[in-house]
Structure 1
Amino acid sequence: MELLPKLSQNLLEILNDEEYYDITIEVVIIQILVAANELSLQELIPYLQSFLIKNKTNWMEQNFNLIYQTSFENNSFSELQKYCTDLMAKEPVKIFNLLNFSSIPEKLLITIIQNDNLQMSEIQIWKYVLKWGLAQHPELPSNVTNYSKDDFNTLKSTLQQFIPFINFDNLTSKEFLDEVFPYREILPEELHVNLLKTFISLSDPNIKPSDKSKPCITKKVNLGTIDSKIITSQHAELISKWIDRLEITDELTSPYEFKLLFRGSRDGFTRHKFHEICDNKSRTVTIIKVKDTNEILGGYNPIKWESDNVWNITKDSFIFSFNNDRIEDHILSRVMDECKALINSSIMGPSFGDGDLTILRLNYYTRKEYCRSIKSSYEKSIRKTTNNFDVEECEVFQIIDQ
């Protein structure tokens, strides 16, 4: 291992001679970086990260989405993570002005705009979010005055996840009337009415409202970047409120850290792997993405998982669902039969109630694992159907006080 630093330097010198490669040196280095992590060549990783940051910043900015996704796939890439975090907060315009800006994933864009230290005005944030949303629908008319009701609904469906993170009352009344009011139909009705009342009452069009009331979840709560392929930090904030038995409009004063324990695509979609990693871990949230649907299902277990084939008693567990990734389109179902809140069993993965949410249960006849959700021990059904389903992704997080 002592030769690795020297080998790293020689390798980078060779790679820097791009005439030998049909693909760019930067892509090669990213591939080597990922391979080095998989092979546990930990001494090589800092050299590759440092080389990219010191010598390839222009390329990294132009390919920010690739750098971001790569860096947050593994905690070993801490230098790249810091680079991404700093760029998002201090120079977000560089990201927003990319030629491929419209291809930035929704979750990444949400992560950027919810940063409390974002060095950008609120009107700039709104304009870039709007630009991104319009780019997703090139079929929409170029002039908003020609929009039909269906056109507004299309844009609203795309941008509804971003609205809670934009502080519209940090705009001047002129900014609101010029840039937001024409798109008023994509705003929630209550927000639209409140903003109209606030801005119309201002006598000076260049003054911002003094009333900072927020009708939606605010971005004051800093939950950080959640390591999830299924949910955003906005989902995590609402789940945190459910854990504390708060209303959706209440302020979350003590946010939790969502520490990733298990990911099916990484660790294996089996009940054995789940128990191997998550047994004896308490205060966990299980999140699953239902295959071939827009459904997100999940549950909170305040006590530890085990494999001892017994019921666990608690009054604080709950299950939930989101549809189309929409925060407002959710179902929360708290446990009613405390004696059958959770079942620990070696023949199934995380399971809530008597079938209310069962993940990776073994069918003795087919010897295959399946998932299902039927109302039994909890308040209400979280699915519209009782049919068995397959899982596209499954994640388990441990909830930790910050």
Structure 2
Amino acid sequence: MKTFAKFGMLCLTGSIILSSCQKEDQPIITSEKDVVIHLSQEISKGGRIRNVEQQTADLKEKLLIEILELSKDEVFRQIVLEQSLKQSHGDYNVYVKDALGLYKGDATKIKTILGLNESIKSLNGGLEQIIFYPRAETIEEQTSQFKATPISLSAPVLVSKEIINKDYTSPGLRLSSARELTSNQQVTEEFAWSNDVWVVGDEENVSPQNQIPAEQLAKGGRYQGQPEYAGLIQVTDMGAIEPWVDGKFEFKIFIRNSSAGAVSERAFGSWARKNFQDQKWKDFGHFMGNWNTSTFGNWTYEKWIEEDGGASGSVTIALPPPSGQTGPTYSVTLPSHERDDDLGLATIQFTDSIDQVYNLSYCNIKRKN
């Protein structure tokens, strides 16, 4: 959402797209000299600062100073750009602590900033401090168009989410030689979306669905920790799977994570054929878990069989990475019987639509949440 409150971070530039980067542009409103800015003093100016107690304001002022100093390092700027482009929280931003976790610079400065972040969290209800970089969206569009690698080249102007003027501008903050926040410009939304501006402040504490880009959610996209159910099957040829003379269907499912580790295994019992007539979907309501990519990985494997008995044995299957992904091919041995029908294997990626249908032998399967 391109509102001023979502301003954020740095105007990073893309390698071959720099002809469109307006690094020398000036905001609409400027003054002849720098004005020293103290967040705590803004409280008394009536409406310019949003519900921030003086203790919190003092801590946030110190945090802004530290981040401005750190922003001089192009390595840190590149980290902010790359992490903002990932939209891990649904917008072009990055947690301050996460950016520092990837930064291998001054250990003392990192410790200072992390300490300020934790102190602010203790006063604001546990909200993380973020760096929001609105121009990352423009960079993303341009790098995609020109197939360029986005590169950060220039140091940013900082904006505090807490200081908003009545005309929705905000002071563009820089650092003086005396390590004070100063400003000689009022940053507009338009300027922030096309120049090097980082917005620093509290994260937006929103529902999990709103922490992913809307276009992904609209396609039925998953989000981290979302409950996921398997066990949905549509039989497209009943006779090919189980002739009518053999009676009911006895389905069994095996689910493995991206590294072939067992997620779940379940036999669904004997079900009358009427439950599968006319290619209607049967939902066994099998809860497979809450899908976090840190535990299940970026994809899962789902294996179906229809049990018909016979001598006990086993079947060994290969679990390769999905098309377009890299990784090892695993070999897994599953229990089976000699007359079982192997219905096939589906590889289901975290980025797939939750509504996607996967074709197996004589049946289709899907997931739900």
Return the TM-score normalized by structure 1. Answer: 0.25
Larger Cα Rg: Structure 1 or Structure 2?
2
Return the TM-score normalized by structure 2. Answer: 0.26
Greater RCO, 1 or 2 (C-alpha within 8 Å, sep 6+): 2
